Amino acid sequence: MSLMKSALLGSALVLASGPVLAQQEQFITIGTGGQTGVYYVVGQSICRLVNRETSEHGLRCTAPSTGGSIANINAIKAGDMTMGVAQSDWQFHAYNGTSDYEGDPFPELRSIFAVHPEPFTVVARADSGVTTFEELAGKRVNVGNPGSGSRGTFEVVLEAKGMSMSDFALVSELRPAEQSAALGDNQVDAISYTVGHPNGSIQEATSTVDARLVTVAGEAIDRLVEENPYYAKVTIPGGMYAGNDQDTETFGVLATFVTSADVPEETVYQVVRAVFENFDRFKQLHPAFETLEPETMISEGLSAPLHDGAARYYRERGWID
Ligand code: GLU
């Protein structure tokens, strides 16, 4: 006991005599996704804006690459990350304890704002002949890494279509940063990614091999969209990627920025402030951000309650009552 006490006292003394700045800085981490995706840019961009003002608010922000939505939500829940980017469907499930979160809800999950739309995207080698999701049966498919929202949503689509993993000749679980090369090297016929457009991953896939965006439609998808508020029908516009001049019909979610009720109000307030006080700059940091509007960012795709720090800033701006 006395040993522990003196050890504690010792560390307190070291802290007290350390540089003043080190004591004032508070480190925050934002969970993102693979480096060729858009979440990574969301996190890096937010941190860049926050870190410009560290001397004023004391926050120092980092945004490491992670496994994606579900990994981010779980890391926030465990207290390992301060904030993170997550698909609106997985935000909904985590908050409400449904789907993969059945029996394990995260009621302290809080939303901050929504970001860009993320179409459910499948890309197939032209030589595979696949043009619709159903035609993936019998093919080699990269379904994504466990922990990604993308993989989770892929499983939802499979079930809705009455298909299963055993319908594929091969199932691979490569991360986004690895899957485009695997498509180019003919290790798989198709890759999947729920992601904002345009992005580096699909750009790489379509420029290394002749590949087509695949149509994801039909009754099962109509039903998914009708029954679930976090899904919407979307079209990936033609002309974004080599060899894909046609529009591609699919459905999608929104990327959202989330945290926990345990994170102090002031911390979230300062992060939100940094983004919206520099909003034009933020929008320029990725083409998928070009069409963002504060109005929709604070109202759509958010099923968990707004964090108090975010609500405080939106109230100050007169965006909410
Ligand atoms: N929506 C993807 C996921 O949660 C990540 C997309 C990205 O990194 O831009 O797995």
**262 alpha carbon to ligand 1 midpoint, in Å?**
24
Ligand 1 atom showing the smallest separation from residue 90 Cα: 4
User: Burial of 30 by CB count in 10 Å (0-12 exposed, 13-18 middle, 19+ buried)?
Assistant: buried
Ligand 1 atom showing the smallest separation from residue 40 Cα: 8
Residue 312, classed as helix, strand or coil, is helix
Pocket of ligand 1 (CB under 6 A): 33-34, 37-39, 68-69, 87, 118, 148-150, 194-196
Q: Can you give the pTM of this predicted structure?
A: 0.92
Give the model's pLDDT for residue 11.
45
Give the model's pLDDT for residue 100.
95
CATH class, 26-116+255-316 region: alpha beta
Whether 288 contacts 197, CB under 8 Å: yes
CATH class, 118-253 region: alpha beta
Give the model's pLDDT for residue 233.
97
Question: What amino acid occupies position 251?
Answer: F
pLDDT digits (tens), the chain, 321 positions: 344 444 444 444 444 444 445 447 999 999 999 999 999 999 999 999 999 999 999 999 999 999 999 999 999 999 999 999 999 999 999 999 999 999 999 999 999 999 999 999 999 999 999 999 999 999 999 999 999 999 999 999 999 999 999 999 999 999 999 999 999 999 999 999 999 999 999 999 999 999 999 999 999 999 999 999 999 999 999 999 999 999 999 999 999 999 999 999 999 999 999 999 999 999 999 999 999 999 999 999 999 999 999 999 999 999 999
> Tokens 């619709």 sit at which residue?
132
Whether 76 contacts 82, CB under 8 Å: yes
Q: Indicate the top mutation candidate among 118, 174, 179, 197 to test ligand 1's pocket, ranked by most ligand atoms within 8 A of CB.
A: 118
Whether 151 contacts 33, CB under 8 Å: no
Pick from 251, 244, 184: nearest CA to 213: 244
Q: Where in the chain is the domain with CATH 3.40.190.10?
A: 26-116+255-316, 118-253
Residue 207, classed as helix, strand or coil, is helix
